[in-house]
Structure 1
């Protein structure tokens, strides 16, 4: 382990009191049974302070554009691992985040020409802000907490502007800017300009589209009409890359982000287009068990019993409860009852 890695490990020991970490026997839960390897590995590398490994893998995944068997970018899975560590709910929270701030700032000094080093520091600042904001509605957050929330987000924004010559060579910086913009209420045109600039750096970075879609959810000040218009725009723009799949992907993200079981009631989503999208995805990625579960769930929401029955038969024992919406176990039960109705 590098000296920097030992420092991180020592800091985590002192902050969190996980004595067994000293023996290497226990670590935070990086690597759930169904977690992609890229997610687990990124989390472990960040946790142990192996920046060289993170930087190398980030560059390789950006270059390759590799996809998982589920049809998800491996780069996105890598970023999820980073997100897991930065967003780790350590108790107490403040010392953990401050240590991450110091660590990532040190990396920016050691590797000043690394876009990832600067991006990670900005993302830790964003997370510091969210530690004050929490996940509640804004009306339930105290004015003092909101001040701190905005302070750290603006600090992250200024940091990326200051180091933009390096940081903005990687579309991960643009994703971070979009997340900041969603929270600070950037105008739609500003958000779309960030996306287009990011796509110049990495035309395959589909997370940029999803983040703008999230910003158009009602809970972030958007509405069903604006969301639908954007999803149709992206689906057309990306057809040569992803076929018909992006329409279904983005509405799946919208369901996860807010609408849940009310997707077809509360949005302008069209089931035939979503169905076409999932058929296209599964033709490209026939082993995507999670996607097939999601397709069956959408068929259930659309009351398309024939498609639901067909997909459940193909899924067999490969049920993925996490793909069946909020309270997935009960949701699946209801869908199975629908499929079995005479």
Structure 2
């Protein structure tokens, strides 16, 4: 039976007439035994087509590869032309990731990755790469595309030195190098901000520099507002805004709530209430305290509006993985207050309707990102496994997570099938 829009998995189960059997009691019993039983049934009974190279990932990779190719060929004039053209035209991937940012990232990737790999090996990174970029900057002194690429290379290298730990955990030398690279990035970009106020690439770079500013003050909200309004279809700046508004950075929980509501109000024609959820999404993932000011009903409505307005499989996988893994109640600190546990449980429960109403194609890298943490798609990724390993990990993580969600059905012999026509449950014959 094809499910109608709005049906939940629970209702779909009821309409399919499923009945408890002795095997299904494993779902509430020994977890390891249940998982072994589910693993034996995955191939036969869980039908979910996987896309190894979805449209969004393919589009991002193509732009990054193009930027890397032009930089390796030292075709910086061509690279600059393409970045500036993409920036002016607001060209973007299907999920609104700007081509200009991806071209710039590809152009500096070799230099940044060399630094990351050296640090991961415990070696002192060579400065030859960043010096070569500085020489290129001298050849294009009035070019904001080249300036942004070199400045962001400094920012990426600064992050490689700093790492993602708390400030008190970072050695003084690493902190100083982080600050030095961010100061250099700011000096490079400063002349261009007033010259190119409508450039989304420069607006994004300006927000990146906030991490190196010890007291950005009101500038933080203003800078992100400018960036988001230049490309309101791109959720990444909204998520970054929420993270920067946490007390560990430059904000407060009250400021987070205020900006989430303001962002939702400005982007309602694109996301409905979805921007509220986007702003809170990473903040909730890294700081349990962010739940204190959260309007849970607003957030859940926002999740629904995101998929109602952008029913893309990349986003459907992202929200499914967020609900299933990031908000997994088993990941909630055992001493967490009851309101926090209830908040995470309610968001986790959204997996039910996401699977029933929107998901029909598995994107493994999205699930791998959720299982590893928020930095998978970030520039600071030198220590990540190879893509093939990430695909395997993401596939197994997603399929096992979804299998656990349908444990009762699978253990009863039911086939759970996802397709473009909707979720169907086929009872055993």
TM over 0.5: yes
Q: What CA distance in whole angstroms lies between the structure 1 residues aligned with 2:233 and 2:308?
A: 22
Q: CA deviation at 1:115?
A: 0.5
Alignment-derived partner of residue 22 in structure 1: none
User: Does structure 1 residue 57 correspond to structure 2 residue 100?
Assistant: no
Name which one, 1 or 2, has greater alpha-carbon Rg. 2
> What is the TM-score of this pair, normalised by structure 1?
0.71
Q: CA deviation at 1:306?
A: 7.5
Report the structure, 1 or 2, having the larger helix content: 1
Say if 2:183 and 2:212, in contact at 8 Å, map to a contact too.
Answer: no
> What is the TM-score of this pair, normalised by structure 2?
0.58
For residues 24-68 of structure 1, give each alpha carbon's deviation from its aligned partner in whole angstroms, at most 9, with x where no partner exists.
xxxxxxxx9545222332233334433233322322322333443
User: Does structure 1 residue 311 correspond to structure 2 residue 354?
Assistant: yes
The answer to which structure, 1 or 2, has the higher relative contact order (CA under 8 A, 6+ apart) is 2
| 1:271/1:214 CA distance change after superposition, 3 Å | same
Gaps of 5+ in 2: 1-51, 328-344, 373-393, 410-429
Alignment-derived partner of residue 364 in structure 2: 320
User: What are the within-5 Å matches in structure 2 for residues 1-342 of structure 1?
Assistant: 33=53, 34-35=57-58, 36=60, 37-82=62-107, 84-90=109-115, 91-92=117-118, 98-162=127-191, 164=193, 166=195, 170-195=199-224, 202=230, 204=232, 206=234, 208-255=237-284, 258-259=286-287, 266=291, 268-286=293-311, 288-300=312-324, 301=327, 302-303=345-346, 307-313=350-356, 314-316=358-360, 318-320=362-364, 322-323=366-367, 325-327=370-372, 333-334=400-401, 336-340=403-407
Say if 1:308 and 1:339, in contact at 8 Å, map to a contact too.
Answer: no
Q: What CA distance in whole angstroms lies between the structure 2 residues aligned with 1:304 and 1:161?
A: 41
| 1:97/1:171 CA distance change after superposition, 3 Å | farther
Say if 1:248 and 1:277, in contact at 8 Å, map to a contact too.
Answer: yes
Q: CA deviation at 1:120?
A: 1.9
RMSD of aligned alpha carbons: 3.8
For residues 259-294 of structure 1, give each alpha carbon's deviation from its aligned partner in whole angstroms, at most 9, with x where no partner exists.
4xx59x8454445434433443334443x2121123
| Aligned residue pairs, count | 305
| 1:248/1:45 CA distance change after superposition, 3 Å | farther
Gaps of 5+ in 1: 1-31
Say if 1:97 and 1:128, in contact at 8 Å, map to a contact too.
Answer: no
Q: What CA distance in whole angstroms lies between the structure 1 residues aligned with 2:348 and 2:182?
A: 46
